[in-house]
Structure 1
Amino acid sequence: MGRKIDMKKIEDITKCQVTFSKRRSSLIKKAQEISVCCDVDVAFVAFSPSGRISKFCSQKRKSKRSLGNFTTLKNLELQIKKSTLELQILEADLRDYEPGPEQEPSLHQLSWCERNIEQSLQRVMARKVSSKT
């Protein structure tokens, strides 16, 4: 049996990249095996610690069907990059609401957060009302 490894984030960047490259090839191999054995569509997308995209799409089905609304893998990559950027923006916005433990929020920051939360709540309530009609 293999050795037991604790599941935790690898802090050392070099070790993280090495582990990713080793596991990536295993995951791609497993995705290919599932595709062949079960005759199913498989798409695998992974982002490396350095930001590179690794992808796999089963060859047998790729020509028969498109992946959802995307006609090519390039369009899928662009959508993933767009979503990643949106996520980074949202995470940055979220940090505005969570000052660090060494920082005390000012009254101005707290009132700004309160205003934004109230506006968001109003938008959600408006969507909820419009979706019921």
Structure 2
Amino acid sequence: MGRVKLQIKKIENSTNRQVTFSKRRNGLIKKAYELSILCDIDIALIMFSPSGRLSQFSGKKRIEDVLARYVNLPDHDRGGPLQNQEYLNRALKKLKCESDIASHLTSPASSVNSSVEELQQEISRFQQQLQIAEGRLSCFEADPSKITSLREAECCEKLLMDALTRVTQRKVSDTPLSLSLSLLKIFLSN
């Protein structure tokens, strides 16, 4: 049993019209995609549903680029003059700027991967700084059995003497809480 051929006219029932649009929209986008691949063409498809929702498709180039190419065609190639061509050009420039910003904010996978790599390097750098700071703070632990060589003992003594000198210099002006914070900053900066 075959399909019944539909008469091409506006569907009066709004629910049926919306359902038909939803079903046929995907088919139309698929055809536009196939045409752009098979024929290696620039294509831009813009549709507004009966409820006003936007559906769009573009092939290799962005919709803004295809529309700009259309607007900049000579009148005889376009099929006649455009109304408000200057307005369209300004609107296209604005759309292109907004699209550039949006694409930058939603960066493609390659820039996401590079961002992830940068974050991993930064994490590694911070872990190294943390290890160094923990090593410096270990000099202030009460357990001398953790010092394994004379060089480590001399290093700890030097750090303690430097810290003591700084503490005595700042003791006059610092409160106990700010003194603790200052000491922590000093040891972390070394």
Indicate the structure with greater helix content: 2
Rg larger in structure: 2
Q: Which has the higher contact order (CA 8 A, sep 6+)?
A: 1
